[in-house]
Structure 1
Amino acid sequence: MMRPKIILFGDSITEDSFGDGGWGASLAHHFSRMVDVVLRGYSGYNTRWALKMINHVFTGDITDAPLAVTVFFGANDASLPDRSSAFQHVSIVEYKQNLEDIVTYLKKKWPTTLLLLITPPPIDEEGRRRYPFGDNPSGLPERTNEAAGAYAKACISVSGECGVAVIDIWSKMQQIPNWEKSCLSDGLHFTASGNKVLFEEVMEGLRKAGITPETLPADLPLMSEIDLLDPLKAFSKSDCQI
Protein backbone atom coordinates (compact mmCIF):
# COMPACT_ATOMS: atom_id res chain seq x y z
CA MET A 1 0.00 0.00 0.00
CA MET A 2 1.14 3.53 -0.71
CA ARG A 3 1.92 5.83 2.16
CA PRO A 4 -0.77 8.36 3.07
CA LYS A 5 -0.08 12.00 2.21
CA ILE A 6 -0.23 15.42 3.79
CA ILE A 7 -0.30 18.19 1.18
CA LEU A 8 0.96 21.71 1.92
CA PHE A 9 -0.79 24.27 -0.34
CA GLY A 10 0.16 27.92 -0.19
CA ASP A 11 2.44 30.75 -1.25
CA SER A 12 6.17 31.38 -0.69
CA ILE A 13 6.02 30.60 3.03
CA THR A 14 4.86 27.14 2.01
CA GLU A 15 7.23 26.88 -0.96
CA ASP A 16 10.17 27.70 1.34
CA SER A 17 9.02 25.30 4.05
CA PHE A 18 11.34 22.49 2.96
CA GLY A 19 14.43 24.67 3.51
CA ASP A 20 16.73 24.33 6.51
CA GLY A 21 14.61 24.44 9.64
CA GLY A 22 11.43 24.80 7.59
CA TRP A 23 8.06 23.81 9.00
CA GLY A 24 7.38 21.48 6.05
CA ALA A 25 10.74 19.76 6.41
CA SER A 26 10.05 19.31 10.12
CA LEU A 27 6.70 17.68 9.29
CA ALA A 28 8.37 15.32 6.81
CA HIS A 29 10.97 14.37 9.41
CA HIS A 30 8.37 13.92 12.14
CA PHE A 31 6.28 11.57 9.98
CA SER A 32 9.18 9.74 8.31
CA ARG A 33 8.34 6.12 7.44
CA MET A 34 4.63 6.91 7.82
CA VAL A 35 3.48 9.84 5.64
CA ASP A 36 4.66 11.53 2.46
CA VAL A 37 4.54 15.29 2.97
CA VAL A 38 3.85 16.78 -0.46
CA LEU A 39 4.89 20.37 -1.15
CA ARG A 40 2.63 22.52 -3.31
CA GLY A 41 3.83 26.04 -2.54
CA TYR A 42 3.77 28.84 -5.12
CA SER A 43 5.79 31.95 -4.36
CA GLY A 44 3.89 35.20 -4.85
CA TYR A 45 0.49 33.58 -5.38
CA ASN A 46 -2.73 34.94 -3.95
CA THR A 47 -6.08 33.14 -3.61
CA ARG A 48 -7.25 34.39 -7.02
CA TRP A 49 -4.31 32.73 -8.75
CA ALA A 50 -4.62 29.64 -6.56
CA LEU A 51 -8.19 29.09 -7.72
CA LYS A 52 -7.12 29.38 -11.35
CA MET A 53 -4.77 26.42 -11.07
CA ILE A 54 -6.37 24.32 -8.34
CA ASN A 55 -7.34 21.56 -10.79
CA HIS A 56 -3.70 21.30 -11.83
CA VAL A 57 -2.49 21.06 -8.23
CA PHE A 58 -4.98 18.53 -6.90
CA THR A 59 -5.21 15.61 -9.30
CA GLY A 60 -6.47 12.13 -8.56
CA ASP A 61 -9.80 10.87 -7.29
CA ILE A 62 -11.36 9.83 -4.00
CA THR A 63 -8.94 6.90 -3.69
CA ASP A 64 -6.04 9.39 -3.56
CA ALA A 65 -7.47 11.37 -0.65
CA PRO A 66 -4.68 12.73 1.57
CA LEU A 67 -4.86 12.63 5.33
CA ALA A 68 -4.72 16.43 5.49
CA VAL A 69 -4.24 19.58 3.40
CA THR A 70 -2.93 22.85 4.78
CA VAL A 71 -4.22 25.96 2.97
CA PHE A 72 -1.95 28.93 3.68
CA PHE A 73 -2.77 32.02 1.61
CA GLY A 74 -3.39 35.66 2.44
CA ALA A 75 -0.01 37.32 2.87
CA ASN A 76 -0.05 38.36 -0.79
CA ASP A 77 -3.78 39.07 -0.95
CA ALA A 78 -3.24 41.56 1.89
CA SER A 79 -0.68 43.60 -0.08
CA LEU A 80 -1.85 47.21 -0.14
CA PRO A 81 -3.54 48.25 -3.41
CA ASP A 82 -1.62 51.52 -3.76
CA ARG A 83 1.94 50.32 -3.13
CA SER A 84 4.65 48.27 -4.81
CA SER A 85 2.92 44.88 -4.58
CA ALA A 86 -0.46 46.13 -5.76
CA PHE A 87 -0.54 43.46 -8.49
CA GLN A 88 -0.89 40.81 -5.76
CA HIS A 89 -3.69 42.57 -3.90
CA VAL A 90 -7.07 40.88 -3.57
CA SER A 91 -9.88 42.65 -1.75
CA ILE A 92 -10.83 41.17 1.59
CA VAL A 93 -14.31 40.36 0.26
CA GLU A 94 -12.87 38.42 -2.67
CA TYR A 95 -10.22 36.80 -0.47
CA LYS A 96 -12.92 35.43 1.81
CA GLN A 97 -14.93 34.12 -1.14
CA ASN A 98 -11.85 32.58 -2.74
CA LEU A 99 -10.97 30.76 0.47
CA GLU A 100 -14.52 29.46 0.71
CA ASP A 101 -14.28 28.22 -2.89
CA ILE A 102 -10.96 26.48 -2.20
CA VAL A 103 -12.42 24.77 0.87
CA THR A 104 -15.58 23.77 -1.01
CA TYR A 105 -13.51 22.31 -3.85
CA LEU A 106 -11.36 20.23 -1.49
CA LYS A 107 -14.27 19.05 0.66
CA LYS A 108 -16.16 17.92 -2.42
CA LYS A 109 -13.10 16.17 -3.87
CA TRP A 110 -11.97 14.54 -0.63
CA PRO A 111 -14.72 14.55 2.04
CA THR A 112 -12.63 12.64 4.59
CA THR A 113 -9.52 14.85 4.35
CA LEU A 114 -8.67 17.15 7.25
CA LEU A 115 -8.43 20.76 6.05
CA LEU A 116 -6.25 23.15 8.04
CA LEU A 117 -6.55 26.83 7.12
CA ILE A 118 -3.63 29.03 8.19
CA THR A 119 -4.11 32.77 8.54
CA PRO A 120 -1.68 35.26 7.05
CA PRO A 121 1.28 35.85 9.37
CA PRO A 122 1.92 39.14 11.15
CA ILE A 123 3.95 41.80 9.35
CA ASP A 124 6.96 43.68 10.66
CA GLU A 125 6.64 46.90 8.68
CA GLU A 126 10.19 48.04 9.40
CA GLY A 127 11.42 44.74 7.98
CA ARG A 128 9.36 45.29 4.83
CA ARG A 129 10.84 48.77 4.42
CA ARG A 130 14.32 47.27 4.59
CA TYR A 131 13.51 44.41 2.21
CA PRO A 132 10.95 45.77 -0.26
CA PHE A 133 9.63 43.79 -3.20
CA GLY A 134 10.97 45.37 -6.41
CA ASP A 135 11.27 49.11 -6.84
CA ASN A 136 9.80 51.01 -3.94
CA PRO A 137 10.42 54.74 -4.46
CA SER A 138 7.89 55.68 -1.77
CA GLY A 139 9.90 53.90 0.91
CA LEU A 140 6.65 52.70 2.44
CA PRO A 141 6.00 49.04 3.34
CA GLU A 142 3.84 47.27 0.77
CA ARG A 143 2.16 45.35 3.60
CA THR A 144 1.03 46.37 7.09
CA ASN A 145 0.29 44.34 10.18
CA GLU A 146 -3.13 45.95 10.45
CA ALA A 147 -4.10 44.77 6.97
CA ALA A 148 -2.70 41.28 7.63
CA GLY A 149 -4.78 41.13 10.81
CA ALA A 150 -7.97 41.97 8.92
CA TYR A 151 -7.30 39.15 6.45
CA ALA A 152 -6.49 36.81 9.34
CA LYS A 153 -9.91 37.55 10.84
CA ALA A 154 -11.51 36.82 7.46
CA CYS A 155 -9.69 33.47 7.32
CA ILE A 156 -10.92 32.60 10.81
CA SER A 157 -14.44 33.56 9.75
CA VAL A 158 -14.23 31.19 6.76
CA SER A 159 -13.13 28.36 9.03
CA GLY A 160 -16.20 28.82 11.19
CA GLU A 161 -18.62 29.15 8.30
CA CYS A 162 -17.18 26.12 6.47
CA GLY A 163 -16.62 23.96 9.52
CA VAL A 164 -12.87 23.44 9.07
CA ALA A 165 -9.93 23.89 11.41
CA VAL A 166 -7.81 27.05 11.44
CA ILE A 167 -4.40 28.07 12.77
CA ASP A 168 -4.29 31.73 13.76
CA ILE A 169 -0.58 32.24 13.19
CA TRP A 170 -1.11 36.03 13.04
CA SER A 171 -2.09 36.07 16.72
CA LYS A 172 0.10 33.18 17.87
CA MET A 173 3.32 34.60 16.50
CA GLN A 174 2.75 37.98 18.12
CA GLN A 175 2.79 36.28 21.52
CA ILE A 176 6.50 35.57 21.03
CA PRO A 177 8.85 38.16 22.61
CA ASN A 178 10.52 40.31 19.93
CA TRP A 179 8.51 38.40 17.29
CA GLU A 180 9.35 40.98 14.61
CA LYS A 181 12.98 39.87 14.48
CA SER A 182 12.77 36.50 16.21
CA CYS A 183 10.14 35.00 13.89
CA LEU A 184 10.50 37.00 10.65
CA SER A 185 13.60 37.33 8.48
CA ASP A 186 12.42 40.22 6.31
CA GLY A 187 9.20 41.35 7.91
CA LEU A 188 7.21 38.58 6.17
CA HIS A 189 9.05 35.29 5.67
CA PHE A 190 9.97 33.03 8.55
CA THR A 191 13.18 32.50 10.47
CA ALA A 192 13.94 29.09 11.96
CA SER A 193 12.12 30.22 15.11
CA GLY A 194 9.09 31.33 13.11
CA ASN A 195 9.05 28.01 11.28
CA LYS A 196 9.14 26.19 14.61
CA VAL A 197 6.10 28.12 15.84
CA LEU A 198 4.07 27.13 12.78
CA PHE A 199 5.31 23.53 12.84
CA GLU A 200 4.12 23.14 16.42
CA GLU A 201 0.73 24.66 15.58
CA VAL A 202 0.27 22.36 12.57
CA MET A 203 1.26 19.36 14.67
CA GLU A 204 -1.33 20.35 17.27
CA GLY A 205 -4.00 20.66 14.56
CA LEU A 206 -3.11 17.20 13.26
CA ARG A 207 -3.04 15.76 16.77
CA LYS A 208 -6.56 17.00 17.47
CA ALA A 209 -7.69 15.08 14.39
CA GLY A 210 -5.92 11.94 15.55
CA ILE A 211 -3.09 12.17 13.02
CA THR A 212 0.08 11.36 14.95
CA PRO A 213 3.06 9.00 14.52
CA GLU A 214 1.52 6.86 17.27
CA THR A 215 -1.67 6.29 15.27
CA LEU A 216 -0.02 5.59 11.90
CA PRO A 217 1.76 2.40 10.86
CA ALA A 218 5.21 2.34 9.30
CA ASP A 219 4.98 1.16 5.70
CA LEU A 220 7.57 -1.63 6.17
CA PRO A 221 8.90 -3.53 9.19
CA LEU A 222 10.95 -1.49 11.66
CA MET A 223 14.38 -2.66 12.73
CA SER A 224 12.93 -3.57 16.11
CA GLU A 225 10.61 -6.04 14.36
CA ILE A 226 13.36 -7.85 12.45
CA ASP A 227 14.68 -11.15 13.83
CA LEU A 228 18.47 -10.86 13.66
CA LEU A 229 18.76 -14.64 13.23
CA ASP A 230 16.17 -14.72 10.43
CA PRO A 231 15.88 -11.18 8.95
CA LEU A 232 13.73 -12.13 5.97
CA LYS A 233 11.04 -13.55 8.23
CA ALA A 234 9.77 -10.00 8.83
CA PHE A 235 9.02 -9.67 5.12
CA SER A 236 7.00 -12.86 4.84
CA LYS A 237 3.73 -11.13 5.73
CA SER A 238 1.32 -10.77 2.83
CA ASP A 239 1.52 -6.98 2.86
CA CYS A 240 5.28 -7.16 2.30
CA GLN A 241 5.15 -9.53 -0.67
CA ILE A 242 5.65 -8.41 -4.26
Structure 2
Amino acid sequence: MRPKIYLFGDSITEESFGDGGWGASLAHHLSRSVDVVLRGYSGYNTRWALRVLDKVFPAVEGGGGDRDPLAVTVFFGANDACLPDRCSAFQHVPLNEYKHNIYSIVSYVKKRWPKTQILLITPPPIDEEGRLRHPYVENPSGLPERTNDVAGAYAKACVSVAKECGVPVVDLWTKMQQLPDWENVYLRDGLHLTQSGNRIVFDEVAKKLMNEEGLSLENLPVDLPLISEIDPNDPLKAFQK
Protein backbone atom coordinates (compact mmCIF):
# COMPACT_ATOMS: atom_id res chain seq x y z
CA MET A 1 0.00 0.00 0.00
CA ARG A 2 2.87 2.34 0.67
CA PRO A 3 5.50 3.63 -1.77
CA LYS A 4 9.09 2.57 -1.11
CA ILE A 5 12.51 4.09 -0.73
CA TYR A 6 15.40 1.64 -1.24
CA LEU A 7 18.73 2.06 0.55
CA PHE A 8 21.40 0.31 -1.56
CA GLY A 9 24.98 0.21 -0.37
CA ASP A 10 27.70 -1.48 1.64
CA SER A 11 28.11 -1.99 5.40
CA ILE A 12 27.39 1.65 6.21
CA THR A 13 23.97 1.06 4.68
CA GLU A 14 23.60 -2.44 6.15
CA GLU A 15 24.19 -1.01 9.64
CA SER A 16 21.84 1.92 9.08
CA PHE A 17 18.91 0.22 10.83
CA GLY A 18 20.93 -0.17 14.04
CA ASP A 19 20.51 1.93 17.16
CA GLY A 20 20.58 5.55 16.02
CA GLY A 21 21.19 4.50 12.41
CA TRP A 22 20.42 6.83 9.52
CA GLY A 23 18.13 4.32 7.82
CA ALA A 24 16.14 3.74 10.99
CA SER A 25 15.82 7.49 11.45
CA LEU A 26 14.56 7.84 7.88
CA ALA A 27 12.03 5.05 8.42
CA HIS A 28 10.82 6.75 11.59
CA HIS A 29 10.63 10.12 9.86
CA LEU A 30 8.48 8.63 7.07
CA SER A 31 6.41 6.25 9.19
CA ARG A 32 2.81 5.81 8.03
CA SER A 33 3.72 7.15 4.58
CA VAL A 34 6.71 5.27 3.07
CA ASP A 35 8.37 1.88 3.53
CA VAL A 36 12.15 2.27 3.76
CA VAL A 37 13.66 -0.95 2.37
CA LEU A 38 17.18 -1.93 3.43
CA ARG A 39 19.51 -3.37 0.80
CA GLY A 40 22.93 -3.04 2.41
CA TYR A 41 25.73 -5.57 1.86
CA SER A 42 28.78 -5.43 4.11
CA GLY A 43 32.10 -5.43 2.27
CA TYR A 44 30.62 -4.97 -1.20
CA ASN A 45 32.14 -2.75 -3.85
CA THR A 46 30.53 -1.40 -7.01
CA ARG A 47 31.87 -4.25 -9.14
CA TRP A 48 29.97 -6.77 -7.04
CA ALA A 49 26.95 -4.48 -6.71
CA LEU A 50 26.55 -4.43 -10.49
CA ARG A 51 26.50 -8.23 -10.56
CA VAL A 52 23.60 -8.49 -8.12
CA LEU A 53 21.25 -5.72 -9.26
CA ASP A 54 18.61 -8.13 -10.53
CA LYS A 55 18.63 -9.94 -7.19
CA VAL A 56 18.58 -6.77 -5.14
CA PHE A 57 15.66 -5.39 -7.17
CA PRO A 58 13.84 -8.52 -8.43
CA ALA A 59 10.96 -8.23 -10.85
CA VAL A 60 7.54 -8.73 -9.30
CA GLU A 61 5.48 -11.49 -10.91
CA GLY A 62 2.21 -10.33 -12.37
CA GLY A 63 3.39 -6.84 -13.19
CA GLY A 64 1.17 -4.53 -11.16
CA GLY A 65 3.02 -4.86 -7.85
CA ASP A 66 6.24 -3.43 -9.24
CA ARG A 67 5.37 0.15 -8.41
CA ASP A 68 8.13 2.69 -8.99
CA PRO A 69 9.90 3.49 -5.71
CA LEU A 70 9.95 7.10 -4.65
CA ALA A 71 13.73 7.02 -4.35
CA VAL A 72 16.85 4.85 -4.32
CA THR A 73 19.98 5.85 -2.40
CA VAL A 74 23.27 4.51 -3.79
CA PHE A 75 26.05 4.54 -1.19
CA PHE A 76 29.24 2.80 -2.38
CA GLY A 77 32.93 3.62 -2.56
CA ALA A 78 34.42 2.94 0.85
CA ASN A 79 35.44 -0.57 -0.21
CA ASP A 80 36.31 0.34 -3.81
CA ALA A 81 38.85 2.76 -2.29
CA CYS A 82 40.80 0.04 -0.45
CA LEU A 83 44.41 0.26 -1.58
CA PRO A 84 45.48 -2.38 -4.13
CA ASP A 85 48.72 -3.20 -2.29
CA ARG A 86 47.32 -3.51 1.25
CA CYS A 87 45.51 -6.18 3.25
CA SER A 88 42.03 -5.56 1.76
CA ALA A 89 43.23 -5.42 -1.85
CA PHE A 90 40.58 -7.92 -3.01
CA GLN A 91 37.92 -5.23 -2.44
CA HIS A 92 39.74 -2.59 -4.48
CA VAL A 93 38.14 -1.22 -7.66
CA PRO A 94 40.19 1.21 -9.79
CA LEU A 95 38.88 4.77 -9.76
CA ASN A 96 37.83 4.90 -13.43
CA GLU A 97 35.99 1.60 -13.09
CA TYR A 98 34.29 2.87 -9.93
CA LYS A 99 33.00 5.90 -11.85
CA HIS A 100 31.74 3.68 -14.66
CA ASN A 101 30.07 1.32 -12.20
CA ILE A 102 28.25 4.13 -10.39
CA TYR A 103 27.12 5.45 -13.75
CA SER A 104 25.87 1.98 -14.70
CA ILE A 105 23.93 1.58 -11.44
CA VAL A 106 22.25 4.96 -11.99
CA SER A 107 21.44 4.00 -15.59
CA TYR A 108 19.95 0.69 -14.46
CA VAL A 109 17.62 2.38 -11.97
CA LYS A 110 16.65 5.13 -14.42
CA LYS A 111 15.80 2.60 -17.12
CA ARG A 112 13.75 0.44 -14.79
CA TRP A 113 12.03 3.22 -12.85
CA PRO A 114 12.15 6.47 -14.87
CA LYS A 115 10.22 8.46 -12.25
CA THR A 116 12.30 7.32 -9.27
CA GLN A 117 14.60 9.85 -7.62
CA ILE A 118 18.20 8.59 -7.33
CA LEU A 119 20.45 9.98 -4.60
CA LEU A 120 24.18 9.24 -4.61
CA ILE A 121 26.16 9.34 -1.37
CA THR A 122 29.95 9.60 -1.41
CA PRO A 123 32.15 7.44 0.81
CA PRO A 124 32.93 9.04 4.18
CA PRO A 125 36.34 10.33 5.19
CA ILE A 126 38.84 7.86 6.61
CA ASP A 127 40.68 8.15 9.92
CA GLU A 128 43.82 6.15 9.17
CA GLU A 129 44.87 5.82 12.81
CA GLY A 130 41.42 4.50 13.62
CA ARG A 131 41.72 1.89 10.90
CA LEU A 132 45.01 0.66 12.39
CA ARG A 133 43.38 0.35 15.81
CA HIS A 134 40.44 -1.62 14.38
CA PRO A 135 41.72 -3.93 11.61
CA TYR A 136 39.22 -6.30 9.96
CA VAL A 137 41.79 -8.82 8.76
CA GLU A 138 45.38 -9.68 9.58
CA ASN A 139 47.52 -6.68 8.62
CA PRO A 140 51.21 -7.66 8.69
CA SER A 141 52.30 -4.45 6.92
CA GLY A 142 51.09 -2.25 9.78
CA LEU A 143 49.75 0.23 7.22
CA PRO A 144 46.09 1.29 6.90
CA GLU A 145 44.19 -0.46 4.11
CA ARG A 146 42.49 2.86 3.28
CA THR A 147 43.66 6.47 3.28
CA ASN A 148 41.65 9.64 3.49
CA ASP A 149 43.22 11.11 0.36
CA VAL A 150 42.20 8.11 -1.72
CA ALA A 151 38.71 8.09 -0.23
CA GLY A 152 38.50 11.75 -1.21
CA ALA A 153 39.35 10.92 -4.81
CA TYR A 154 36.48 8.40 -4.91
CA ALA A 155 34.17 10.93 -3.29
CA LYS A 156 35.03 13.50 -5.97
CA ALA A 157 34.40 10.87 -8.63
CA CYS A 158 30.98 10.15 -7.14
CA VAL A 159 30.12 13.87 -7.19
CA SER A 160 31.28 14.04 -10.80
CA VAL A 161 29.05 11.14 -11.85
CA ALA A 162 26.08 12.75 -10.07
CA LYS A 163 26.57 15.95 -12.07
CA GLU A 164 26.96 14.00 -15.30
CA CYS A 165 23.79 12.01 -14.65
CA GLY A 166 21.80 14.96 -13.33
CA VAL A 167 21.05 13.39 -9.95
CA PRO A 168 21.56 14.83 -6.44
CA VAL A 169 24.48 13.80 -4.27
CA VAL A 170 25.45 13.96 -0.61
CA ASP A 171 29.16 14.76 -0.39
CA LEU A 172 29.70 13.03 2.93
CA TRP A 173 33.50 13.11 2.64
CA THR A 174 33.50 16.91 2.59
CA LYS A 175 30.60 17.45 4.99
CA MET A 176 32.01 15.37 7.83
CA GLN A 177 35.42 17.02 7.77
CA GLN A 178 33.93 20.44 8.45
CA LEU A 179 33.72 19.64 12.18
CA PRO A 180 36.84 19.63 14.41
CA ASP A 181 37.70 16.15 15.76
CA TRP A 182 35.49 14.53 13.11
CA GLU A 183 37.64 11.39 13.35
CA ASN A 184 36.24 10.64 16.81
CA VAL A 185 32.87 12.39 16.65
CA TYR A 186 31.62 10.74 13.44
CA LEU A 187 33.66 7.53 13.08
CA ARG A 188 33.89 4.67 15.56
CA ASP A 189 36.65 2.65 13.84
CA GLY A 190 38.08 4.99 11.26
CA LEU A 191 35.36 4.09 8.73
CA HIS A 192 31.98 3.14 10.18
CA LEU A 193 29.70 5.70 11.74
CA THR A 194 28.94 6.66 15.30
CA GLN A 195 25.41 7.78 16.15
CA SER A 196 26.54 11.36 15.44
CA GLY A 197 27.87 10.26 12.07
CA ASN A 198 24.60 8.50 11.32
CA ARG A 199 22.76 11.69 12.22
CA ILE A 200 24.77 13.62 9.65
CA VAL A 201 23.82 11.10 6.94
CA PHE A 202 20.15 11.20 7.92
CA ASP A 203 20.07 15.00 7.96
CA GLU A 204 21.73 15.26 4.56
CA VAL A 205 19.61 12.53 2.95
CA ALA A 206 16.40 13.95 4.37
CA LYS A 207 17.38 17.45 3.21
CA LYS A 208 18.08 16.25 -0.31
CA LEU A 209 14.99 14.06 -0.66
CA MET A 210 12.45 15.95 1.40
CA ASN A 211 13.39 19.58 0.79
CA GLU A 212 15.24 19.72 -2.51
CA GLU A 213 13.53 16.86 -4.37
CA GLY A 214 9.99 17.52 -3.18
CA LEU A 215 9.26 14.35 -1.20
CA SER A 216 7.78 16.33 1.68
CA LEU A 217 5.65 14.72 4.35
CA GLU A 218 2.85 17.12 3.43
CA ASN A 219 2.73 15.59 -0.07
CA LEU A 220 2.87 11.98 1.11
CA PRO A 221 -0.54 10.62 2.14
CA VAL A 222 -0.80 8.15 4.99
CA ASP A 223 -2.00 4.69 4.03
CA LEU A 224 -4.78 4.34 6.63
CA PRO A 225 -6.86 6.83 8.65
CA LEU A 226 -5.13 8.69 11.46
CA ILE A 227 -6.67 8.44 14.91
CA SER A 228 -7.68 12.09 14.57
CA GLU A 229 -9.83 11.12 11.56
CA ILE A 230 -11.77 8.43 13.41
CA ASP A 231 -15.14 9.56 14.78
CA PRO A 232 -15.55 8.25 18.36
CA ASN A 233 -19.30 7.94 17.74
CA ASP A 234 -18.92 6.02 14.49
CA PRO A 235 -15.38 4.59 14.32
CA LEU A 236 -15.94 2.32 11.30
CA LYS A 237 -17.04 5.19 9.07
CA ALA A 238 -13.40 6.27 8.57
CA PHE A 239 -12.57 2.89 7.02
CA GLN A 240 -15.29 3.13 4.38
CA LYS A 241 -13.45 5.81 2.42
TM-score, normalized by length of structure 1? 0.96
- Alignment-derived partner of residue 219 in structure 1: 223
- Alignment-derived partner of residue 199 in structure 1: 202
Q: Which moved more, 1:31-40 or 1:131-140?
A: 131-140
**Letter paired with 1:215:** N
Alignment counterpart, residue 74 of structure 2, candidates 71, 89, 92: 71
Q: Distance in 2 between matches of 1:72 and 1:185?
A: 18
Alignment counterpart, residue 97 of structure 1, candidates 92, 100, 111: 100
Q: Distance in 2 between matches of 1:21 and 1:177?
A: 22
Q: Which moved more, 1:62-71 or 1:121-130?
A: 62-71
Identity %: 69
Q: What count of residue pairs does the alignment treat as equivalent?
A: 236
Unaligned runs of 5+ in 1: 238-242
The DSSP-based 3-state class of the residue aligned with 2:26 is helix
Q: Distance in 2 between matches of 1:44 and 1:166?
A: 22
- Alignment-derived partner of residue 29 in structure 1: 28
After TM superposition, the runs of 4+ consecutive aligned structure 1 residues lying more than 4 A away are none
Q: Distance in 2 between matches of 1:164 and 1:128?
A: 32
The DSSP-based 3-state class of the residue aligned with 1:105 is helix
**Letter paired with 2:216:** T
Q: Which moved more, 1:37-46 or 1:212-221?
A: 212-221
- Alignment-derived partner of residue 127 in structure 1: 130
TM-score, normalized by length of structure 2? 0.96
RMSD (Å), alpha carbons: 1.0
Unaligned runs of 5+ in 2: none
**Letter paired with 2:236:** L
| Residue 177 of structure 1, CA deviation | 2.3
Task: Note the 1:1-242 alignment, pairs <5 A.
Answer: 2-60=1-59, 63-207=66-210, 208-237=212-241
Q: Distance in 1 between matches of 2:179 and 2:195?
A: 13
| Residue 146 of structure 1, CA deviation | 0.2
